[in-house]
Amino acid sequence: MENPKINICLAGVTGWVGRALYNEINVSDDLNLISAVSRKQAGKHISDLFNSDGTGIMIDKSVPDALEKKCDVLIDYTSPLIVKENVLLAISRKVNVVIGTSGLSDSDFEEINDAAVKNRVGVLAAGNFSITAVLLQHFAQIAVKYVPNWEIFDYATEHKPDAPSGTTRELATRLANIQKPTIHYPIDETIGDKSSRGATVGGMQLHSVRLPGFNFSFEIIFGLHNERLSIRHDSGNGAEPYVNGTLLAVRKVSSFIGLKRGLDTILNI
Ligand SMILES: NC(=O)c1ccc[n+]([C@@H]2O[C@H](COP(=O)([O-])OP(=O)(O)OC[C@H]3O[C@@H](n4cnc5c(N)ncnc54)[C@H](OP(=O)(O)O)[C@@H]3O)[C@@H](O)[C@H]2O)c1
């Protein structure tokens, strides 16, 4: 017997990533878009809006409205201002969730995990769903075992509202579970403005640059006496790198209970 399709609610369908996800879901055999969310385009038929074949569903203005239609997985690529609310609502309605949106803190993730376990659904959140970004995470996790000194940087457009990025927060949390860096001059004793040493997450320093000319890049710099190692990832202008990882997560998220963080948790790296 054929496997049933996975029914999806896509929040943020008109966004940079959401639109690329819509295109791929629309041509896939095993995924079925049930509902989609955008405040500005609410009430329009999605296929008219994107001039595409396929689903004639009408866009909803909010996740609560969209979840009135029964689905298996909510994909959230919206805004740091609304993501937590969306995710907790979906979990309370026994819907699995894939979180692309940035801005959630470690304590938010604890709350999300508790709710997911209680409601027996799966949640997969990744600060970065691109496979080459996942490789950076992997290489950094090896490097911290050998080099005790590092700091992390992210570079994004001038419009990115949240800092540090979801990608670098996630990296810091992972590295902190393995090893914390040696901070040679205590941050609290910095002479001048302490904030110029960046944000401390998981015992390490994170620095965020927001300027026109960047799309999204992140970098970890390791230092030893008379040598440095930089590992850097640069995203291009298209959202394709995030699509495959996100849809892989959609296909796997109902196979476990609770929160998993990072695409590597469902890859064989
Ligand atoms: N994990 C990853 O790999 C990854 C990759 C890229 C981006 N991101 C993150 O994903 C998020 C979205 O990025 P993007 O570049 O696609 O953003 P974007 O282009 O600004 O799109 C945001 C989408 O969400 C909708 N939206 C925003 N606020 C909303 C609200 N309060 N309620 C309902 N819908 C809302 C927008 O439509 P309306 O304005 O019409 O509501 C739009 O469809 C960001 O947090 C970004 O940092 C993560």
Q: Where in the chain is the domain with CATH 3.40.50.720?
A: 6-128+238-266
CATH number (3.20.20.60, 3.30.60.50, 3.30.360.10, 3.10.580.10) of 131-235 reads: 3.30.360.10
Residue 77 Cβ inside 6 Å of ligand 1? The answer reads yes
Ligand 1 nearest-atom number relative to CA 41: 40
Pull the structure tokens for residue 80.
């740091």
Work out the pLDDT band at 2, boundaries 50, 70, 90.
low
Query: Which of 114, 78, 74 has its CA nearest to residue 96?
Result: 74
**Residue 258: its H or E element:** strand 258-261
pLDDT score, position 269: 79
Residue 129 Cβ inside 6 Å of ligand 1? The answer reads yes
- Assess whether pLDDT exceeds 90 at residue 139: yes
pLDDT score, position 3: 72
Ligand 1 nearest-atom number relative to CA 11: 34
- HEC-encoded secondary structure of 65-111: HHCCCCCCEEEECCCCCCHHHHHHHHHHCCCEEEECCCCCCHHHHHH
What percentage of the chain exceeds 70 in pLDDT? 99
Residue 215 Cβ inside 6 Å of ligand 1? The answer reads no
- Look up residue 246 and give its amino acid: T
Question: What's the mean per-residue pLDDT of the chain?
Answer: 95
Pull the structure tokens for residue 115.
């709710």
Ligand 1 centroid from CA 228, angstroms: 35
Residue 128 Cβ inside 6 Å of ligand 1? The answer reads yes
Dump pLDDT digits (tens) for 146-205: 999 999 999 999 999 999 999 999 999 999 999 999 999 999 999 999 999 999 999 999
Ligand 1 nearest-atom number relative to CA 126: 1
Domain 6-128+238-266 falls under CATH 2.40.50.140: no
- Assess whether pLDDT exceeds 80 at residue 53: no
Mean pLDDT across the stretch 22-28?
94
Pull the structure tokens for residue 72.
């298996």
Mean pLDDT across the stretch 127-133?
93
- Closest C-alpha residue for ligand 1 atom 10: 101
- Closest C-alpha residue for ligand 1 atom 14: 16
- Closest C-alpha residue for ligand 1 atom 2: 128
Dump pLDDT digits (tens) for 66-113: 999 999 999 999 999 999 999 999 999 999 999 999 999 989 999 999
Q: Where in the chain is the domain with CATH 3.30.360.10?
A: 131-235
Ligand 1 centroid from CA 216, angstroms: 14
- Assess whether pLDDT exceeds 80 at residue 52: no
- Look up residue 9 and give its amino acid: C
